[in-house]
Chain A
Amino acid sequence: MQYQSQRVAYPYFIAALLLFAGQVLFGMIIGAQYIWPDFLFPAVPFNIARMIHINLLLVWIIFGFMGAAYYLVPEEVEGEVYSTKLALVHFWLFLAGGVIAVVGYLFRIHDGREFLEQPDSVKVAIVIVVLLFLFNILMTMLKGRKRTSISIVLFGGFVGLAVFYLFAFFKPANMVVDKFFWWWVVHMWVEGVWELIMAAFLSFLLIKLTGIDREVAEKWLYIIIGFTMFTGLIGTGHHYYWIGTPAFWQTWGAYFSAFEVAPFVAMVAFAFKMVAKKSREPENRAAVLWTVGTAVVSFLGAGIWGFMHTLPQINYYTHGTQITASHGHLAFFGAYAMIVLAMASYAVPKMRNMQPGTQKAEMLSFWIMVISMMFIALSLTGAGIVQVYLQRVLAMPYMEAQGYIKLFYGLRLFFGGTFSIGLLVYLYHFFTPSKSGTAF
């Protein structure tokens, strides 16, 4: 750690991991409800548990993004964080907002749009938190000695995150218009500006871990985010095939979203090439594993599983089935969960002033979680194929078709269980640093 104030990132990673555990717990609850519908019913019905599952996802990922940014930016721009006090103030504000929202959900206090179930008061709090964060990062950049492409792209990604969230406040009476702009939050985040944030972290990690030339890494960064924007912006059209929007989106959406795999191909090539060309043997091997892993799994989850159902001819049958769920799980985990865990793996030992030490448990948890998530996605893909055939091809009623899918839901829950074990191994390793690391 080069700057004392980088340590302000530490509580962010802790909060992120605890909320991640909460997300997985609620994932297990809804996974179980698919098999035993009366589990925790009616105290915690499916819609409430699912709302908590996906909201905790967003909150912990954003905690991870912010923490990783507070670690990265000082080192990039060569200067202390502008205000660590402010960073802690909006840390607690965000944590309070997130916890209040989730507890409120259990008491049926929520809005009614997917991912954006936060009541308006919490939405306003989120905007305030993000503005304080942006101000702090911007001031850190202005006061720093340098301005690197990585820090600028990262900042741009966060500005995009803030700007597109504002569409969450727009709730028109016409559901088609509502859905149209709902995607300007969700799609523009995960298939747009979040990829800028991810690519910036990836470039930073590869420079730090392999000692490659910054000019080369930053060239790759611009190529990756170029691909993201060229394909992802109009690729929004793949959400506009069947929701009351004009048919021309089928052409635009198909051609552009078919190439949304490009930035992920570039990230895989970037990661493997840089690790192969490394100028020094990395001391933190777990961080390398997470870094290469996030490129590969996001390529599979977002790239391949996304491409699988992005063409309108296929999407006509798969839209709104478990195929979407399988893609969602692998993409979110591969891209955003794993990039945060990669940054944690690199930054946390440094913030503790420790050598990474033996990382067997962490690497074991990597493999358990990655393989489990692969099988969760495959189970849901199987569920989706059967569902498409029965319900969309044979026109079998929804609930009747669900009866034939139970096996796949059972598999999904089983691999959710193994994923939970992997997460517990990870958390055990994370919270017992004395056993796994050595002080400098």
Chain B
Amino acid sequence: MTKSSAKNIFIGGTVVFTVILLILTYNSLSSPTLQKRTHPENITEQVRWGKKVWEKHACIDCHSLLGEGAYYAPELGNVIKRRGEDVVRTILQTAAVQGWGTIRRMPQFDLSEKDIDGLVEFFRWMGEIDTNNWPPNIEG
């Protein structure tokens, strides 16, 4: 193989695989697919706010969400199903005052009632996403 044929293979292949990637991307994010898998109609104002609160406190740098993030604290994508809404609410209300936990402690966060409602709704919406049956069990 010469340098110029290697170069042409590189350019040609990159173009071909970019096109395939774009087609697969289109298929992933088309409205019917998103509709079926993520229920965007359930993204209420509260869910939007919850996502903002999630980001404001960089929850992802301790917890994971659908397996992505840090691994210092439990998975939260299915937390409502695992612990129930009441427990999640209690944890957040405690965190708003003094932080939560005894071993690895969650810091105290200034969470208003609106923030807590938002987070709960955000977690609830996350829990309804079709994740191809992940995680293997409820413990995440």
* Chain A residues packing against B (C-beta within 8 Å): 30, 33-34, 37-38, 41-42, 45-48, 50-51, 110-114, 117, 149, 173-177, 179-180, 215, 218-219, 222-223, 225-226, 229-230, 233-234, 236-237, 240-250, 252, 316-317, 319-322, 324-325, 391-393, 395-399, 402
Contact = CB atoms under 8 A, between A and B. Distances in A.
Contact of B55 (A38, A113, A397): A113
B72 A51 contact: no
9 smallest A-B Cβ distances: which pairs?
Answer: A112-B55, A320-B67, A47-B61, A242-B134, A222-B6, A226-B10, A398-B74, A395-B137, A219-B3
A46 B104 contact: yes
Contact of B9 (A111, A226, A234): A226
A50 B139 contact: no
B94 interface: no
- Which size class do B's interface residues fall under? 35 or more
A395 B53 CA distance: 29
B10 to A, nearest CB: 4
A174 B43 contact: yes
A144 B75 CA distance: 53
A395 B139 contact: yes
A249 B139 contact: no
Given A50-B70, A117-B61, A173 B6 contact: no
Interface in B19-58: 20-21, 24-25, 27-29, 33-34, 37-38, 40, 43, 47-48, 51, 54-58
Given A51-B58, A174-B38, A244 B13 contact: no
Contact of A46 (B38, B72, B131): B72
A117 B59 CA distance: 11
B131 A215 contact: no
Nearest to A252: B24
Given A176-B34, A398-B74, 10 more contacts: A47-B61, A47-B62, A114-B68, A149-B3, A174-B34, A175-B129, A234-B17, A234-B21, A319-B135, A402-B104
Nearest to B140: A398
B134 A316 contact: yes
A229 B14 contact: yes
B3 A215 contact: yes
Most-contacted residue by chain B among A247, A391, A393 (CB, 10 A)? A391
A28 to B, nearest CB: 15
Nearest to B12: A226
28 contacts: A37-B103, A37-B104, A45-B62, A46-B61, A46-B70, A46-B104, A50-B61, A51-B61, A112-B55, A112-B57, A114-B70, A173-B43, A174-B34, A180-B29, A222-B7, A230-B13, A234-B24, A241-B134, A242-B67, A243-B129, A244-B37, A320-B67, A320-B68, A320-B69, A320-B140, A397-B139, A398-B74, A398-B140
A248 to B, nearest CB: 7
Most-contacted residue by chain B among A222, A241, A324 (CB, 10 A)? A222
Nearest to B110: A108
A243 B13 contact: no
A234 B13 CA distance: 12
A240 B28 contact: yes
B82 to A, nearest CB: 9
Interface of B: 1-3, 6-7, 9-10, 13-14, 17-18, 20-21, 24-25, 27-29, 33-34, 37-38, 40, 43, 47-48, 51, 54-62, 64-75, 99, 103-105, 107-108, 126, 129-132, 134-140
Nearest to A390: B139
Nearest to A220: B6
Nearest to A241: B132
A47 B62 CA distance: 5
Contact of A322 (B28, B66, B71, B99): B71
Contacts of A114: 60-61, 68-70
Contacts of B40: 174
B58 to A, nearest CB: 5
A223 B1 CA distance: 10
A177 B29 contact: yes
B71 A47 contact: no
B18 to A, nearest CB: 6
Given A37-B105, A215-B3, A319 B132 contact: no
A245 B132 CA distance: 8
Contact of B27 (A33, A34, A174, A248): A248
B47 A243 contact: no
B17 A218 contact: no
Contacts of A244: 37-38, 66, 129-131
Nearest to A178: B51
Given A112-B54, A233-B21, A395-B138, A246 B71 contact: no
A319 B134 contact: yes
A89 to B, nearest CB: 31
Given A175-B65, A177-B29, A321-B71, A233 B14 contact: yes
A50 B104 contact: no
A117 B58 contact: yes
A320 B132 contact: no
Given A41-B105, A244-B129, A320-B64, A226 B58 contact: no
A225 B134 CA distance: 33
A393 B3 CA distance: 50
Nearest to B25: A180
B6 to A, nearest CB: 4
